Amino acid sequence: MANKKFSLFDFVYKYGTVAVIVIVMLLFSLTNPYFFTYDNLTDILRSISIVTFVAIGVTFSLIVGGFDLSVGSTVSLTTVVSASMMVWYEQGVFTTLVVPIVLSLLVGLVNAFLVVKIRIPDLLATLAMLYIVNGLHMTYSQGYSIYANMPMQDGSQAPGKFQEWFLWLGQGEILSVPVPVILTFLLVAITHVYLTYTRQGRMLYMTGGNLEAARLSGIPVNRYRTLAYVLSALFAGLGGMLLAARIGTGQVSSGGSMLMDAVAAAFVGFSVFGAGKPNVFGTFVGAILIGVLLNGMTMLNLPYYAYDIIKGTVLALALAVTYYQLRRKRNA
């Protein structure tokens, strides 16, 4: 009897998240005939594309045993800066793309310096960077969202506008498939291959699995921890640029809500197919679960302030199952 119960738990541990997605989609489809349509499903995937970018960044920091709280403010920074390059300064493709990317890499390097070199605990170091980066982007934008024809301080209008190629990245389609969805699938596939089949990917996991053992094995653990924080900031920055392209404005503090959704997706991913560790595919499935829940609740006209309750409950259940299974393995 005990073995049967344990087998049932193992099944729930491995396939519970995917089963929940299927059940939730079935329930929403029965309550709303427009839920399970191509347009709505692509809307869900489009809506989670930005969260997936940011969540993959969080996943990299988790892989090396760290945690990056500054990803939300990095999203806000690159959203505002990429918008300002076009609207304020009328820059072209190169500057619009390169400047936000460089800034996000700098955020990652500062995070790594604080955590790896100064040895400030990652939560505290990245929390400090959250405030610093948030203050920087608010100071840069003077607290205003950036949009075409916006009034400037001298009484004139902003000279530039969002360029078509940039808006296409967030709003365009290829063969009826939204461009952000295509970019998301490419990112998930590339990072999965990188982490699973390359030497660097394996070194990242070894660094996070046992830092001291990895160091004694000759792995340059500080280099890989630095790489993880840089990649975390980079993906958050790319997510911010994609957000600006999707909404067509440089919305200040737009990344605030992204932080918790990305963290939830990354931790829910621990339990997907029984991985028990940070992984990109699981993170993507976690983002899908959150996207399905939010879309379904919106279509049912549930109050927006109930959304966080649902997301928090899903995260708590996923973590409870994951850590209970980890304790079982240690005690086995």
pLDDT number for residue 2 = 46
> ∠ CA 242-245-246 to the nearest 5 degrees?
85
Q: Which domain holds residue 253?
A: 2-331
pLDDT number for residue 4 = 47
pLDDT number for residue 18 = 85
Q: Which of 235, 248, 257 is nearest to 100 (CA)?
A: 235
Distance CA(151)–CA(40), nearest Å, equals 36
> What are 31's two structure tokens?
């309550």
Q: Which of 279, 273, 239, 310 is nearest to 48 (CA)?
A: 239
pLDDT, tens digit, for every residue of 40-74? 999 999 999 999 999 999 999 999 999 999 999 99
Is the pLDDT higher at 111 or at 20? 111
Distance CA(19)–CA(11), nearest Å, equals 10
Q: How many domains does the chain have?
A: 1
> ∠ CA 17-23-27 to the nearest 5 degrees?
145
Distance CA(256)–CA(130), nearest Å, equals 10
pLDDT, tens digit, for every residue of 134-169? 999 999 999 999 999 999 988 899 999 999 999 999
pLDDT number for residue 230 = 98
> Cα-Cα-Cα-Cα dihedral of 329, 198, 190, 322, to 10°?
10
* Mean pLDDT, the chain, whole residue set: 91
Q: Which of 30-34, 109-113, 209-213 has the highest mean pLDDT?
A: 109-113
pLDDT number for residue 77 = 97
Q: How confident is the model at residue 332 (pLDDT cuts 50, 70, 90)?
A: low
Q: How confident is the model at residue 256 (pLDDT cuts 50, 70, 90)?
A: confident
pLDDT number for residue 154 = 84
Q: In this predicted structure, which of 6-15, 34-43, 91-100, 232-241 has the lowest mean pLDDT?
A: 6-15
pLDDT number for residue 307 = 85
CB 68 within 8 A of CB 57: yes
pLDDT number for residue 304 = 81
pLDDT number for residue 275 = 66
Q: Which of 273, 179, 236 is nearest to 56 (CA)?
A: 236
pLDDT number for residue 7 = 61
| Type of residue at 74 | T
Q: At what angle are helices 38-63 and 280-299 packed, to 10 degrees?
A: 140
> Is the pLDDT at 243 greater than 90, yes or no?
yes
Q: How confident is the model at residue 269 (pLDDT cuts 50, 70, 90)?
A: confident
Distance CA(184)–CA(286), nearest Å, equals 14
278: left (phi over 0), alpha (psi -120 to 50) or beta: beta
Specify burial of residue 217 (Cβ count, 10 A radius: 0-12, 13-18, 19+).
Answer: exposed
CATH code of the domain covering residue 9: 1.10.3470
pLDDT number for residue 325 = 74
pLDDT number for residue 1 = 43
Whole-model pTM over 0.85 = yes
pLDDT number for residue 12 = 74
Half-sphere exposure of residue 115, counting CA atoms within 13 Å on the CB side? 33
Contacts of 255 by beta carbon, 8 Å cutoff, 6+ apart: 54, 71, 72, 73, 74, 75, 76, 77, 79, 236, 239, 240, 243
Q: Which of 58, 68, 71 is nearest to 134 (CA)?
A: 71
